[in-house]
Amino acid sequence: MTWTMAAPALSAAFLASLVEVVEAFTIVLAVGTVRGWRPALIGTGCALGALALLVLLLGPALTLIPLQALQLVIGVLLMMFGLRWLRKAILRAAGFIALHDEEAAFAKETGALQAGDSGTASRRDWLAGLTAFKAVMLEGIEVVFIVLAVGAGRGLLWPASLGALAACALVLALGLILRKPLARVPENTLKFAVGVMISAFGIYWTGEGLGVSWPGADLAILALAALLLASALTLVAAFRKRSVEMTA
Amino acid sequence: MKTIAMILREIAALFVDDGRLALAILALVAFCAVLAFGLHGPASGIAGALTAGSIVILAFSVRQGARRKPH
């Protein structure tokens, strides 16, 4: 394992996980604030258990697939995932889609939980726990996919997992200190960076799966990321101008 | 059951949000696969087609998305 390969895998998993964990944290915080920490923590714990089971089942299964086929399938999935994120991040940066607002998401979730005040206390706890479970499960599946996809292609599961764990630890630590939604995280900038990195990995793995020997070997990922970043920034500049013209 | 169905829908949405973008990526990969395995094209040509194709697809998809009214 080389540092040029491990560093992009670690940073891509860290940044992507940071975005997902912040979103899950907002909802768990809303559940904990409105309905108490017991259902929030039970829902979160169940989701983390289900995710661990998913990793235990999928991890060994991936080793049974021939490497070239695995690289091709994961590469295509990463391209679909990464270019989708990058497209949205470009449209947000250009002003065509609203930026994600954690405080608004928190307010919406607490409002929804307070609105569902009817029923017995145990039913309310069950619904609150289910809300936390869904949030952690859905965002967690994205984290698991990113870690497996970025790491499985060439034995980089450890650096990718470390990146994801570091993101979880950071969000948890900040959340415990602040006890409010992490609204100051520059989410679109992170999504932009993640979209670039994941797309670069996707193109690289797809190429490897098709039998391409990339010039510069692993360094090609950084070159692909630089090319995608330059293209994306050009698109933002072009479409921001158009957005301004349309609103003028 | 509803929760499981919703989770499955969300998993699918991880990869397919804009159907045209997903289809274009699959078409690009299929084209590159034909170049690689059918025509035994040069590796640099396949790498170039994959990279340039991805950027072109991204640009068209952003242009499509930018047709709506700005926020």
- Residue A175: CB partners within 8 Å, gap ≥ 6? A25, A29, A182
Question: Encoding tokens for residue B3?
Answer: 């929760």
- Quick one: angle between helices A219-247 and B43-65, nearest 10? 20
**Per-domain residue ranges of chain A:** 3-241
Predicted confidence (pLDDT) per residue in A229-239, tens digit: 999 999 999 98
Structure pTM? 0.81
- Residue A212: CB partners within 8 Å, gap ≥ 6? B36, B43, B46, B47, B50
Q: What is the mean pLDDT of chain A?
A: 84
Strand, coil or helix: A136: helix
Residue A220, min C-alpha distance to chain B (Å): 10
CA distance to A31, A66, A139, A145, A148, per residue, from A57 (Å): 30, 17, 19, 13, 12
User: Which class for A36: exposed (0-12), middle (13-18), buried (19 or more C-beta within 10 A)?
Assistant: middle
**Per-domain residue ranges of chain B:** 17-65
Question: With an 8 Å Cβ cutoff, are A91 and B17 in contact?
Answer: no
Please check whether residue B36 touches A, CB under 8 A. Answer: yes
Would you put residue A157 in left (φ > 0), alpha (ψ -120 to 50) or beta? alpha
Predicted confidence (pLDDT) per residue in A150-177, tens digit: 777 667 788 888 888 898 888 888 887 8
Q: Which of A233, A227, A182 is nearest to A204 (CA)?
A: A227
Q: Which of B10, B60, B24 is nearest to A80 (CA)?
A: B24
Question: DSSP string of chain B?
Answer: -HHHHHHHHHHHHHH-SSHHHHHHHHHHHHHHHIIIIIS---HHHHHHHHHHHHHHHHHHHHHHHTTSPP-
Question: Encoding tokens for residue A28?
Answer: 């768990």
Residue B25, min C-alpha distance to chain A (Å): 7
Q: How far is it, in rounded angstroms, from Cα A60 to Cα A150?
A: 16
Predicted confidence (pLDDT) per residue in B1-17, tens digit: 676 777 777 777 777 77
* pLDDT of A124 strictly over 80: no
Predicted confidence (pLDDT) per residue in A49-82, tens digit: 888 888 788 777 777 788 888 889 989 999 999 9
Cα dihedral value A146, A148, A149, A151, nearest 10: 110
Nearest CB neighbour to A79, from listed B3, B11, B25 = B25
Nearest Cα residue in chain B from A235: B59
B59 against A35, higher pLDDT:
B59
Nearest CB neighbour to B71, from listed A83, A98, A239 = A98
What confidence score (pLDDT) does residue A118 get?
62
